[in-house]
Amino acid sequence: MNGDWLIRGRDGRLSVYLPTDDAVLCRAELGPGGPWEPARRLGGEQKLRPGPAVGQGTDRYAHLAAWRPTKPGEAGLVHSTHFRPRLAALDWLPIGHPNRTGDRTGMPAVTVDAQGRCHVFVRNKAGGVSMLGQKAVGGWGPWRDLKGREVDERLAAVTGESGLVELYAAVPGAILHWRQESPGAVPVLEEAMETSVRPGTLRALATSAEHTTLFYADDSGDLCAWRPGTKPVTLLASAGPGAVSVIRCELDGHDCTLLAQRSASGRVAFAAYPTEQESAGAWWTESGPQLAADAVVALAVDEDERVVAATMSPSTGQLLMTRRKEEPGLALEAWREV
């Protein structure tokens, strides 16, 4: 799943989005802290291609995008909106193809602007990035070619505290950054920052009124933080392969950035530091049982502002969860299967 697959809904309940080979499943809390409802298929009975994406706006509505097969050798993108975790999501509706027709071109990325409009980004057939955005009065605008070359398919889309949409993409030897200049505008390429970057490790977060921060692993395996207009900072060595999950939260009265990643040992590793103060340093602390090699980690904050962490393994179907204890520091409850 490209995006935050563990989210807090408009009603305060947590939900998880679980991709399968041909669908997206959803599970939601029945009450604060659980229990959880059984998994149900999202958006109708249409069959999907692997690699869906999810994004959430300030209204806490979830927007999802995925590829569906249309005929042999071809596919098209579809979109669904999920207003509340325990309600049925809207049916998947077609939103087209960045090249009009053809096969899947890359994994979509989704973010939602301050006006609640969904923006879908995807690598196109030429190896650049294309974008589709919802109109203010309903419906969708045209596909826009944002250019770029040799773009990795795992894009990182984010909406800043300003409400403006931004996009990060890895290319050989650099990271590209696009940003809207005004609400509803087409994002423009603002910077190409030369760096080594491991494909599939980009993760973006709104970290202040002025900035978003991109987290990525470089070729040496170090986890780096970069805010456009500055130089990247090495934060600490990656705990394991793949992208980190990252959120902002309050820890002991401080605005902190919390990172989580499946470590090389197979457990979940956590690290926290004061937001945008990478010089303060961070270090990993491991928690929980050993997980399957394909397990991924997600972070959220519940309606009581407590940190929640979840892990999901596609191969085993196991979903585990923990919450922060009501005590100083980042002490966590025992992990439990949902």
Q: What is the CATH number of the domain that holds 106?
A: 2.120.10.10
Residues 166 and 27 in one domain: yes
For residue 251, is it within any domain? yes
Distance in angstroms between the alpha carbons of the first and the last residue of the chain: 19
Residues 141 and 197 in one domain: yes
Q: Collapsing DSSP states into helix, strand and coil, what is residue 311?
A: strand
Which residue among 209, 228, 244 closes a domain?
244
What's the confidence (pLDDT) of residue 179?
98
Residues 146 and 263 in one domain: no
Q: Collapsing DSSP states into helix, strand and coil, what is residue 223?
A: strand
DSSP 76-131: EEEEEEESSTTSPPPPPEEEE-TTSSSS--S--EEEE-TTS-EEEEEE-TTSSEEE
Taking the C-alpha atoms of residue 36 and residue 129, their distance in angstroms, rounded to an integer, is 38
Residues 212 and 280 in one domain: no
What's the confidence (pLDDT) of residue 242?
80
Residues 200 and 304 in one domain: no
Q: Is 48 exposed, middle or buried (0-12, 13-18, 19+ CB in 10 A)?
A: buried
User: Which residue has 């992208």 as its token pair?
Assistant: 243
Q: Are 227 and 279 in contact (CB under 8 A)?
A: no
For residue 305, is it within any domain? yes
Residues 237 and 269 in one domain: no
Residues 263 and 237 in one domain: no
Residues 200 and 265 in one domain: no
Residues 135 and 238 in one domain: yes
What's the confidence (pLDDT) of residue 314?
87
What's the confidence (pLDDT) of residue 86?
87
Which residue among 197, 222, 244 closes a domain?
244
Residues 191 and 264 in one domain: no
What's the confidence (pLDDT) of residue 207?
98
CA distances in angstroms from 333 to 146, 182, 281, 287, listed in the order given: 45, 43, 25, 10
pLDDT in tens, the chain (338 residues): 899 999 999 999 999 999 999 999 999 999 888 899 999 999 999 999 999 999 999 999 999 999 999 999 999 999 999 999 989 999 999 999 999 999 999 999 999 999 999 999 999 999 999 999 999 888 999 999 999 999 999 999 999 999 999 999 999 999 999 999 999 999 999 999 999 999 999 999 999 999 999 999 999 999 999 999 999 999 999 999 988 999 999 999 999 999 999 999 999 999 999 999 999 999 999 999 999 999 999 999 999 999 999 999 988 889 999 999 988 889 999 999 99
Q: Are 337 and 318 in contact (CB under 8 A)?
A: yes
For residue 1, is it within any domain? no
For residue 254, is it within any domain? yes
What's the confidence (pLDDT) of residue 217?
97
Q: Are 129 and 147 in contact (CB under 8 A)?
A: yes
For residue 238, is it within any domain? yes
- Residue numbers of the domain that contains 200: 6-244
- What pTM did the predictor assign? 0.97
What's the confidence (pLDDT) of residue 69?
97
For residue 121, is it within any domain? yes
Residues 88 and 229 in one domain: yes
Which residue among 195, 217, 244 closes a domain?
244
What's the structural domain count of the chain? 2
- Structure token pair of residue 332: 């966590």
For residue 278, is it within any domain? yes
For residue 138, is it within any domain? yes
Residues 184 and 236 in one domain: yes
What's the confidence (pLDDT) of residue 27?
96
Residue 200 gets the label, from left (phi > 0), alpha (psi -120 to 50) or beta, of: left
What's the confidence (pLDDT) of residue 106?
97
DSSP 29-77: BSSTT--BPPPEESSSS----S--EEEE-TT--EEEEEEEEEETTEEEE
